[in-house]
A and B are shown apart, each in its own frame.
Chain A
């Protein structure tokens, strides 16, 4: 009789882990609380650094959803029990699933920008998040982002909810920098006469081709990068925004008017990740992401035998790294099930 694994979370990490495990002959139950697979990938329009359509990556992941994988969509977990090497998961619809191994791939959610009250998200009309901008790109590609606005000056704020002690998140979300650069270029493609200002603390262009994108943004598109953190945004009578920033390279305070403010929201562990961690007794780090058994050498297993981690439950990661991590998890699970 073949061995079984339950994967919780049908985003990039969960889909790829499921696909690889099925390929290795493991029977997989993939549980997703949404009515569809894909997680956050479905919200992205194009991916950095080459700006390919995110649907292409989703199509690749979906092709892996073959025989050997039972999908459970719209499925909420009410309880997990472990007994005699077996995991039993009770779903809210009364169904029960059993397996020999469990993979937590419940990922992240974006930082709730309303917590940075001084930026006015949810209060001022023209403050949006990077996620909302992606939604706009996905659904309104032919439209101007700022219809009818003459000046079209846009501010992009980096590190919203990341590297921010006040927000309770000391960690870097890693991918907001490159997302900001990507989105700035995409806005310029849509609105060549827009003026774009990125307000950053550091630009952490850590991965391949990221630095090149940053150069392209400046040299080809004339996007301006100002080192300084936004102190506050206020609304003018015409619904434009007054932003106050300290330019830390010149050491001078800066005040300017923008038509639109885009907040690059960082990663926080999803509530489901935290709920399952509490249910299973998994260890959370200071940053509230889950801890693997060893930070360097055993990055896909946990201290609980049979419980594995995949993707952004362990911290911020991009699509490519998430897929690589999911494959590593699949190998670890298969090895454990031998």
Chain B
């Protein structure tokens, strides 16, 4: 492996990321999958980095999942995207930040379509006007939230309380990174580092002290792949995709997996449990699996936020082995307690995957 080769490619794929004044659009699914991530993004931007960020509760789905599963026509998607732009315009913002990778892909696709086919933009404006009476300006900058964290990764490193270093050995933690397909596989030039050797997560890992693992199935699908999961009969494809990745990364002994998509962490996390139940096979050390984190969760850990405020208790693969390696203190008793300290009850332990440090 020649790192200079990768660095040359990374130089090719740089993108403009806005500095401040963001209009933030949330994901439909992330608040169920990884409920602390979006809140952590807001906390980092507003309280750590002192950035101006606005969100409008009238924001709806971008329709991306419906579009990519062929149940929503593109004209409808374009009109819904146009409505989000109208909300942004009405609020006086022009830098759009999406939480979801599929939204990022869809917004990019719509803008690119309008660029090449201006008549479709005009048609969409008419649809929106007729349906809602709204008008919009196109965003000056569209970034994914991971682009923003990437941009400010060094500031986060400066404020960090913990790093991706094994506190016992002093060695960098070994991290598998996986980007969402709709981040740069649709438009390589819109992702930091392009599609083949994306740099957006690598940059965070390196600046926060870790080491990136390159493994043969690095580019392989996480297992979501939309129809692979959404069509129930195809779910065997979904889990076998994830398994292929785990089998490929296992010899490199990763300490964690870092992701920037709603789907990737969901499937890379939950399927580890499913594989353990189906085949008795676990990955990672001591049958504990390989922890899978979103970039917001990792940024929060680096900044010293309480792991249970980040929502790590809803992960199927326990994050505790990672917390132990990073030297992050946590109270196991508080893992399944609500904000007011109320006991929420403990989930049943899986058969093989070691979910609790001490079996309950």
Interface membership of B196, Cβ < 8 A: yes
Contact pattern, A 114-139, Cβ under 8 Å of B = 1, otherwise 0: 10011011111100000000000000
Contacts of A122 in B (CB 8 A): 2, 4-5, 8
Interface membership of A236, Cβ < 8 A: yes
Contact pattern, B 215-236, Cβ under 8 Å of A = 1, otherwise 0: 1111100000000000000000
Please state if A237 and B251 are interface contacts (CB–CB under 8 Å).
yes
Interface membership of B194, Cβ < 8 A: yes
Interface membership of B1, Cβ < 8 A: yes
Contacts of A34 in B (CB 8 A): none
Chain A: interface size category: 10 to 19
Closest-by-CB residue of A relative to B252 is: A237
Interface membership of B309, Cβ < 8 A: no
Choice from B5, B194, B195, B217 contacting A123 with Cβ under 8 Å: B5
| Given A122-B8, A123-B6: A117 in contact with B219 (beta carbons within 8 A) | no
| Given A114-B8, A114-B9, A235-B214: A125 in contact with B1 (beta carbons within 8 A) | yes
Cα A237 to Cα B251 with chains together (Å): 9
Shortest CB-to-CB span from A161 to chain B, Å, is: 15
Interface membership of A109, Cβ < 8 A: no
Closest-by-CB residue of A relative to B215 is: A234
Choice from B195, B197, B216, B252 contacting A242 with Cβ under 8 Å: B216
Please state if A234 and B5 are interface contacts (CB–CB under 8 Å).
no
Please state if A123 and B252 are interface contacts (CB–CB under 8 Å).
no
Please state if A235 and B1 are interface contacts (CB–CB under 8 Å).
yes
Please state if B2 and A235 are interface contacts (CB–CB under 8 Å).
no
Within 8 A of B (CB), among A151-166: none
Contacts of B2 in A (CB 8 A): 122-125
Interface membership of A284, Cβ < 8 A: no
Cα A292 to Cα B218 with chains together (Å): 47
Cα A104 to Cα B93 with chains together (Å): 55
Question: What are 21 sample pairs from A and B whose C-beta atoms fall under 8 A apart?
Answer: A114-B9, A117-B194, A117-B195, A120-B5, A122-B2, A122-B5, A122-B8, A123-B1, A123-B2, A123-B5, A124-B2, A125-B1, A232-B196, A234-B215, A234-B216, A234-B217, A234-B218, A235-B216, A236-B216, A237-B251, A242-B216
Interface residues of B (CB under 8 A from A): 1-2, 4-6, 8-9, 194-197, 214-219, 251-252
Q: A234-B219, A235-B216 are in contact. List 15 more A-B contacts (CB 8 A).
A: A114-B9, A117-B9, A117-B196, A118-B196, A120-B5, A121-B5, A122-B5, A123-B2, A123-B6, A123-B9, A124-B1, A232-B219, A234-B214, A234-B217, A242-B217
